Structure 1
């Protein structure tokens, strides 16, 4: 790419403005996804899935890498990073590409060669064609990608980092104490445990802590950017089903 300098002032200014706006939108989208999609249990994002549609566990399994006899079967997130390098900059994702990431996942999951099953590919095609399923699945895909970026220290947003940190710390707390709670309850002869109530209380605690953390950053410029671009973000997200429908039609034409 040609190096643009102040010797070409118009091109230089246009490029700097474009870069600045892209950075602002990327920060806003990352904060939006972190706020909307972060959860302790993925089932909270993807529940009540109708019979015949792809399950949460199936989706997560395909998003993740999986060890195999021949090494590692790369998941959708790893393949996305490799096949869409222009969606990343210095290892950091450009969240403006979130709709494109969902479309990439659709293309992989409806590819019988990728999922190694024609019937599974057809089930995912049916699932992606359902707006409710797609909305829930997109939330899971969004948080899974953000979580991986967080673990690799590749998130752009301070607020997103804070939310994800609380998310991981809460999960770790649950894991460390689960066996202790179970053992103590057993010792006291308590057998009937309301797991749903425990889960509800933990989720409410997590949301309160996350809300407090966001409140502490209430004057942060990232929240100002979120307020500025939120209408456009939600408008773009609302168009994702149509985006997928076009991909379906294109796939039928070229198949």
Structure 2
């Protein structure tokens, strides 16, 4: 991102010096706020915790959404997904390899435009399905959550995150997934060995017991995540996030409203919607 150089001395151009410093501080705070917002709202062990299939309408599935967010490889050909396209098309959103999180709401808008573009998804039916889905408010917020989670993990793998809180959240999520995968393999072997040694007698009970153990361990991981949330609340990064939380949610809400071409709501209506968001009704 090109910016006017900050004067090296106050006495030479005091107004320009202070304006540059204020702008620098504001951008820094927005970067922190957006990144912590994403980490708290979207860091989950399973994407199914962010997007379900409870809606009655025939909307885009979580699997299809994720398949277009990710790259797709067929033989030697690689179809760049939303994340790769975004990084390639917007290098100005990165400074020294670090993503500037203040561009998150832009990323959401970018992803929506890309997924509803027939030239990207290759078929009009898929583009139309995405367009219909983005007009469903429940689906929209869930899709934003999945987009945010995938973006966080993508950036973490590139060492492109800047806040300690976001790094810690994603690190814990990835570790939990690895451990659960290992536990799944171990419990699978236990059930297999039981079947080979004792036959099929009581095999269902063994499977249920093994599944219960895995569920218990996963619940422990989730409780550890919640404890981390409480610890982070005392940190400066989190306090900055709290100061900007409503502004961030309002900006993401405006993308949905723009998609429906709705008039800008009155302050009272907007405040009520944001209060719903604060209570977690839509996110």
Band the TM-score falls in, shorter-chain normalisation: 0.7 to 0.9
Q: In 2, distance between residues paired with 1:63 and 1:198?
A: 33
Q: In 2, distance between residues paired with 1:161 and 1:82?
A: 23
Q: In 1, distance between residues paired with 2:76 and 2:260?
A: 35
Q: In 2, distance between residues paired with 1:203 and 1:51?
A: 31
Give 5+ residue unaligned stretches, structure 1: 248-255
Whether 1:190 aligns to 2:203 is: yes
Q: In 2, distance between residues paired with 1:156 and 1:142?
A: 15
2:73 aligns to what SS in structure 1?
strand
1:67 aligns to what SS in structure 2?
strand
Q: What is the aligned counterpart of 1:35 among 25, 34, 40?
A: 40
Q: In 2, distance between residues paired with 1:23 and 1:60?
A: 30
Cα deviations across residues 93-143 of structure 1 (Å, max 9, x unaligned)?
222222211111111111111111011000000001111101000000001
Distance 1:16 1:177, change over 3 A: same
* Shift of residue 2, structure 1, vs aligned partner: 4.5
Q: What is the aligned counterpart of 1:64 among 54, 62, 70?
A: 70
Cα deviations across residues 15-63 of structure 1 (Å, max 9, x unaligned)?
2211111111211111111111111111111102444211111111111
TM-score (norm 2): 0.80
2:78 aligns to what SS in structure 1?
strand
Aligned to 1:101: 107
Alignment of 1:1-255 (within 5 A): 2-5=4-7, 6=9, 7-48=12-53, 49-188=55-194, 189-191=202-204, 193=207, 201-246=216-261
Q: In 2, distance between residues paired with 1:245 and 1:87?
A: 27
| Greater C-alpha radius of gyration | 2
The answer to whether the 8 A contact 1:63-1:76 is kept is yes
Give 5+ residue unaligned stretches, structure 2: 195-201, 263-283
The answer to whether the 8 A contact 2:184-2:214 is kept is no
Q: In 1, distance between residues paired with 2:217 and 2:120?
A: 37
2:203 aligns to what SS in structure 1?
coil
Bigger CA drift: 176-185 or 53-62? 176-185
Distance 1:161 1:133, change over 3 A: same
* Shift of residue 71, structure 1, vs aligned partner: 2.6
Q: In 2, distance between residues paired with 1:99 and 1:27?
A: 14
Q: Count residues with an aligned counterpart.
A: 247
Q: In 2, distance between residues paired with 1:108 and 1:67?
A: 19
TM-score (norm 1): 0.88
